Amino acid sequence: MVGQVLGHYHIDAKVGEGQFAVLYKARDIRLDRTVAVKVLKENSLQPDTTWGRLLREARMASILNHPNICILYDIGEDQDINYIVLEFVEGKTLRAILDSGPLPVQHAFHFGIQIAEATAYTHGAGILHRDLKCANIMVTPRGRIKLVDFGLSKLVEEERRKEGKASDSSAQEIGWLVGTLPYLAPELLHGEKATTQSGVWSLGVVLFEMLTGELPFSGQSPFELGMDIMTGTMKLLPMTIPAGLRAITQRCLARDKEDRYYSAVEVLNHLQSEYTTFQIRAVLANHPSSQNQWSRAGWLRSLLSRIGWVFLGN
């Protein structure tokens, strides 16, 4: 495939491969820009189903317009090869970054707020990602988060229309469960439908991983892992993590939905509030009361410059 031309895209290099598709770095010949081209694997056992997944990803991505979500450019077919064209995101997956260990609290806040913003936006657009995980989160060299791979996503209204009817056969590509097991909410393992609250659970798993470098639940087999998610005790978060951030993560991972955040918007608001508190404490720690010669105006300007990006964008 490398060196070939699909439509008006010159395939430059292979950058990744999944169960159903291969991702390439390519050059848009017409616009002279770098793009990502996702191509259906030739040896797919269910080509129609897999192409349906790529079409679903294209459909969902076309609805969304957010700085923390990968942009869809095009979709096409050439030489009997189906493909979609996406924004090429420089950087690493969050999963690759966490292979080196947990993040500093500052970075966990910075990334967590962006992930919550993107998740809240998709929920507001009526879309459930259904496969939010560290491997589907890209981090650019400048620290910008990009959610990728909407191949398992669903429109909430579409899901409601299907109630009482046969289940969507395209979901059978990974069995009756849709998503990645370590990130699935317990109610999904009990056979319930995905909701915004199951998305909040996945967000909580990502927060937990960023803070500890580990998953909140474990097991030697998929069955044991599933049982631990449904009935086990969540691993403890280190006491060195700010209490407010620990509380947010724990509430995202509340097994009882009555105790869990209802929406990603709630998570976002609490993360922003706790980050502001974290920044204020950092400023006070760096400028103790013994240094009162520093003017109040100067202290306030420094404080606002440290926390203002949360509200003005980053």
Cα–Cα distance for residue pair 210/292, rounded to 1 Å: 37
Given 28, 32, 78, 131, the catalytic residue: 131
Q: Is 259 a catalytic residue?
A: no
Q: Hey, what amino acid is at 155?
A: L
Closest CA relative to residue 72, chosen from 28, 41, 36: 36
Cα–Cα distance for residue pair 199/115, rounded to 1 Å: 11
Cα–Cα distance for residue pair 150/296, rounded to 1 Å: 49
Cα–Cα distance for residue pair 80/15, rounded to 1 Å: 22
Which are the contacts of 76, defined by CB distance < 8 A and separation ≥ 6? 6, 7, 82, 83, 84, 85
297: Cα separation from own chain's centroid: 39
Helical spans, DSSP H, in 85-240:
94-98, 105-124, 156-162, 186-189, 196-212, 222-231
Cα–Cα distance for residue pair 217/120, rounded to 1 Å: 25
Which are the contacts of 112, defined by CB distance < 8 A and separation ≥ 6? 206, 207, 210, 271
217 burial via Cβ count (<10 Å: 0-12, 13-18, 19+): buried
Q: Hey, what amino acid is at 131?
A: D
Sheet holding 145-147, edge to edge: 92-93, 137-139, 145-147
Q: Active-site residue numbers?
A: 131
